[in-house]
Amino acid sequence: MPRKIEKLIKKEIQFPSLPAIAVEILDTVNKDDATLTQLGDLIALDPALSAKMLKIANSGIFSGAREISNLNRAMAILGTNTIRSIALSFVISSDLCSKRPGYNIEDFWKRSAISAVAAELIAKCVQHRDEDLFLTGLLQDLGVLTILLTKGDEYRILLDSYKDMQQDLKTLEQEKYGFDHQQVGNALLSSWNLPESITTPIRYHHCPNEAPSQYETSTRILDFANKLGELYTSNEDSQNVRIIQNEMAEQFDICPDDTLELIDQVAEKGRELIAMFDLDPSDIKPYTQLLQDANRQLEQLNLTNAQMILELQDAKKKVDRLVLKLQESNSRLRELVYQDALTGLYNHRYFQETLESEMARAKRYQASLSLVLFDIDNFKAVNDSFGHPAGDLVLMNIATAVKGAVRNSDVVARFGGDEFAIILPSTNAAGAKTFAENLRLAVEGIASLIDGQAISATVSLGVVTVLPSQASMSKSELIEIADNNLYQAKQQGRNRVTCSTVGS
């Protein structure tokens, strides 16, 4: 993953910590001289975890025909990596189930459990050995939960829009934040020191064609496991089953009937695992049973014309309500896509699109164009000393000051974290410098009151002006020059403006 994306994720997302017993399990397994007995003794310290371990070891997901009667035998038969995966799955899900992000956490873990079982069963079916796939399947969408715990209502609206309009979630996330839940999941699990055999397939589980070759098969399996999780928890229809059957035949040479049998097995074994997570599995039924129930209902239908007309009228009302809901979702989505939730300024995506159009306009009319990049000096110290709520207040107050200082034609955006960007159309070098100096002084005079204490802040600004003779300059080149000027302002002592002009 590019370091710029990693840095952005760490700045925007707060990672949940790994439970203490999970850290001990990983530390034990990662030791060169670790033994099964040491791992067993550690798990045995938690009776509830030990009991669940034996249940799942005998569930049919992992075991053969012989019953596994004690933890030591389970470890000897299943091996260290499988035992590690099973133990971590219960520890992590139990810990995160206690967090209530205002989202249906039970459905999230039901889908995750189905995906974990599906990954394990598909791997067996295609004879692919990967002892980490069960845990990888369970944790593949942990990035969604992590973003939700940090972003709250803002991300919930994004999820609703994704479900209502059936758009690609990772595309919406990239447009809104500059990263997606695959990348967040990868970064989180890497910070927990889980191996690349888990973190890399999660990074690419929606785009397996992009995965490194050594992880491609595991990532493809994870992609199908995710689709089966959606099938059983998101009201997906028979058309999706046919798509899965066709893709399984194309990629793994599995005939449609065998895929259908596999889909049923996923539901049956998934119900067992969901119950072990202390969740209600009653709404998970094998796909063929759902088809049989539907056929019985069709046989019982004996509708009169009047009844059919009434049902059509009801259906039209539902369609009308859905259209209205989609219109509302579109409106919310447009706002989400272009607006920064904290400051109310335009976001990074809007800035990129607008800068491109303004550069084209300047070229067409042979006009000057100026760009200002600035960030808050020593902002990390504000967060460290006063807390993130204080830092947020400083950001909002500065955003308010900037909005009051610009013209209607200027565009102000939050570039990311504590960095901001201002596009000044038809503005020459002298005008841009004057504007930047006035803005620096305005911010210098702002005091944010936190618990009776005034917090002051300053900004460093990098300014670049492009003259008509350099209209062919690219957007990235212009941003890079402004960013370098901002860096120079920092190096020269902060709370100052550094300007440059491109062209003659």
DSSP string, 147-160: HHHHHTHHHHHHHH
Give the list of residues 6+ apart from residue 48 with CB closer than 8 angstroms, or none.
Answer: none
pLDDT tens track for 296-328: 665 555 545 555 666 677 778 887 888 787 777
Architecture of domain 348-502: 2-Layer Sandwich (3.30)
Q: What is the pTM of this model?
A: 0.59
Segment (H or E) for 449: strand 447-450
More confident residue, 359 or 273: 359
Q: Going by DSSP bridges, is the β-strand pair 419-425/369-376 parallel, antiparallel, or unpaired?
A: antiparallel
Distance, in Å, from the CA atom of 323 to the CA atom of 316, rounded to the nearest integer, reads 10
More confident residue, 16 or 412: 412
Name residue, tokens 């997906």. 236
Which phi and psi angles does 287 have, rounded to 5°?
A: -60, -40
Yes or no: say if 493 and 487 are a contact pair by the CB < 8 Å rule: no
DSSP string, 341-409: TTT-SB-HHHHHHHHHHHHHHHHHHT--EEEEEEEETTHHHHHHHH-HHHHHHHHHHHHHHHHHHS-TT
Yes or no: say if 56 and 115 are a contact pair by the CB < 8 Å rule: no
| Poorest-pLDDT segment among 33-37, 98-102, 385-389, 437-441 | 98-102
pLDDT category at 98 given cuts 50, 70, 90 is: low
**Average per-residue pLDDT for the chain:** 83
Enter the CATH code of domain 3-15+102-295.
Answer: 1.10.3210.10
Q: Fold identical between 3-15+102-295 and 348-502?
A: no
Provide the 8-state DSSP code for 339: B
Query: Token pair of 273, please?
Result: 């695992």
Domains of the chain, residue spans: 3-15+102-295, 17-98, 302-332, 348-502
Position 34 scores a pLDDT of 63
Position 395 scores a pLDDT of 94
Distance, in Å, from the CA atom of 336 to the CA atom of 346, rounded to the nearest integer, reads 10
List the beta bridge partners of residue 371: 423, 464
Mean pLDDT for 211-238 is 85
**What burial class does residue 216 get, using C-beta atoms within 10 Å of its C-beta: 0-12 exposed, 13-18 middle, 19+ buried?**
middle
Helices then strands, counting H and E runs in the chain, come out as: 23, 7
| Poorest-pLDDT segment among 20-29, 65-74, 280-289, 334-343 | 65-74
Give the list of residues 6+ apart from residue 203 with CB closer than 8 angstroms, or none.
Answer: 1, 182, 183, 185, 186, 211
| Poorest-pLDDT segment among 210-219, 273-282, 451-460, 489-498 | 273-282
Which phi and psi angles does 343 have, rounded to 5°?
A: -95, -20
Map residue 100 onto helix, strand or coil.
coil
Residue positions annotated with a catalytic role: 418
Provide the 8-state DSSP code for 60: S
Name residue, tokens 């999660």. 202
pLDDT category at 481 given cuts 50, 70, 90 is: very high
